[in-house]
């Protein structure tokens, strides 16, 4: 899968660690640095995105353990920190929606690819064009829906940012900052998934799909069939890897939300 430049840059901010950091905090800093370096790359591939999604899952797992530390739970269960927890919960719903929407898009995309593979094997000119146009139409709709999810999530982020500007100890402040940056990275990665997989739609003259159209026009499906089929098979494998990474991230986000809900109940 070709590399693409991420359409949203994640700022490489430095996190101020407490003078006597908990070992988990040091692990969080290391995981976050690796993720930010990956997302800031000018050649972010689908494979790198899949690895980064799994890395995000690991980061949220570390944050989960930090949230379970008694002194952090105690601090977050009281005002004004409790207000931040409430805003973070609101944002977590929208991030889960974004993650779920991306996952659903990958499932549907795989179905379109399988339809195209079947049409290629049957060598039906009209069927191939019909399936190709259906894929392109789906790509446009999926990216439009994703942008709407991101817009809604950013509005929530703005409210949460104002709520986080409260007096917190250094470790708790680090927890808040890391969760904020993890959300930014999640958005950037989720946006890059569809832009990467659907970039053939935005550059049709250089895409594999144009090869299909050209083959149809010149009646040379035989010589193009193997190349197109191989591309579709590789794309299907890539989607499977991304689905695995998304599932890992989704589970961690759910666990993180449960932990925040438990804090509110204290």
Give the pLDDT confidence of 209-243 residue by residue, as tens digits: 555 555 555 545 555 666 777 788 888 899 999 99
Give the model's pLDDT for residue 246: 94
Q: Which of 35-39, 55-59, 111-115, 155-159 has the lowest mean pLDDT?
A: 155-159
pLDDT category, 3, cuts 50, 70, 90? Answer: very low
CA 6 – CA 239 distance, rounded (Å): 18
pLDDT of residue 205: 41
Q: How many domains does the chain have?
A: 1
**DSSP per position, the chain:** ---B--SSPPP-PPP---TT--HHHHHHHHHHHHHHHHHT-TTB-HHHHHHHHHHHHHHHHHHHHHHTSHHHHHHHTSTTHHHHHHHHHHHHHHHHHHHHHHHHHHHHHHHHHHHHHHHHHHT-HHHHHHHHHHHHHHHHHHHHHHHHHHHHHHHHHHHHHHHT-S---HHHHHHHHHHHHHHHHHHHHHHHHHHHHTHHHH-GGGSHHHHHHHHHHHT-HHHHHHHHHHHHHHHHHHHHHHHHHHHHHHHHHHHHHHHHHHHHT-
Q: Quick one: pLDDT at residue 175?
A: 85
Q: Does residue 17 fall inside a structural domain?
A: no
Residue with the larger pLDDT of the pair 243 and 143: 243
| Domain assignment present for 16 | no
Is a pLDDT exceeding 90 seen at residue 254? yes
pLDDT grade for 162, boundaries at 50, 70 and 90:
low
Residue 7 forms part of a structural domain: no
* pTM as predicted: 0.77
pLDDT for residue 226: 66
Task: Label residue 145 by pLDDT band (50, 70, 90).
Answer: confident
For residue 29, is it within any domain? yes
| Domain-embedded: residue 232 | yes
Higher pLDDT, 43 or 102: 102
Q: What is the mean pLDDT of the segment spanning 124-151?
A: 81
**Does residue 8 belong to any structural domain of this protein?**
no
What's the mean per-residue pLDDT of the chain?
78
pLDDT of residue 223: 52
Q: What percentage of the chain carries pLDDT values higher than 70?
A: 75
Positive or negative, the CA dihedral 67, 68, 72, 76 is: positive
Q: What is the mean pLDDT of residues 105-117?
A: 89
Domain for residue 246, yes or no? Answer: yes
Range of the domain at 58: 24-187+202-264
């Amino acid at each position: 899968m070709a590399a693409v430049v991420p359409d949203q840059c994640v700022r490489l901010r430095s996190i101020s660690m407490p003078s006597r950091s908990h070992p988990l905090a040091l692990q969080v800093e290391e995981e976050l640095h690796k993720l930010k370096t990956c997302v800031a790359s000018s050649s972010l591939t689908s494979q790198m995105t899949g690895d980064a999604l799994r890395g995000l899952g690991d980061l949220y797992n570390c944050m989960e353990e930090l949230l379970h530390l008694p002194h952090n739970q105690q601090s977050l269960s009281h005002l004004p920190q409790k207000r931040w927890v409430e805003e973070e919960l609101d944002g977590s719903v929208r991030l889960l929606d974004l993650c779920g929407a991306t996952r659903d898009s990958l499932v549907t995309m795989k179905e379109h690819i399988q339809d195209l593979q079947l049409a290629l094997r049957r060598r039906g000119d009209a069927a191939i064009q019909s399936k190709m146009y259906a894929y392109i139409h789906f790509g446009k709709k999926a990216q439009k829906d994703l942008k709407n999810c991101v817009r809604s999530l950013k509005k929530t982020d703005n409210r949460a940012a104002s709520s986080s500007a409260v007096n917190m100890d250094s470790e708790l402040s680090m927890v808040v900052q890391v969760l904020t940056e993890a959300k930014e990275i999640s958005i950037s990665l989720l946006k890059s998934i569809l832009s990467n997989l659907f970039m053939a739609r935005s550059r049709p003259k250089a895409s594999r799909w144009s090869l299909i159209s050209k083959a149809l026009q010149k009646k040379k499906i035989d010589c193009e069939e193997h190349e197109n089929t191989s591309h579709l098979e590789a794309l299907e494998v890539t989607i499977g890897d991304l689905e695995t990474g998304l599932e890992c991230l989704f589970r961690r986000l759910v666990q993180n939300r449960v932990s925040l809900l438990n804090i509110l109940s204290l």
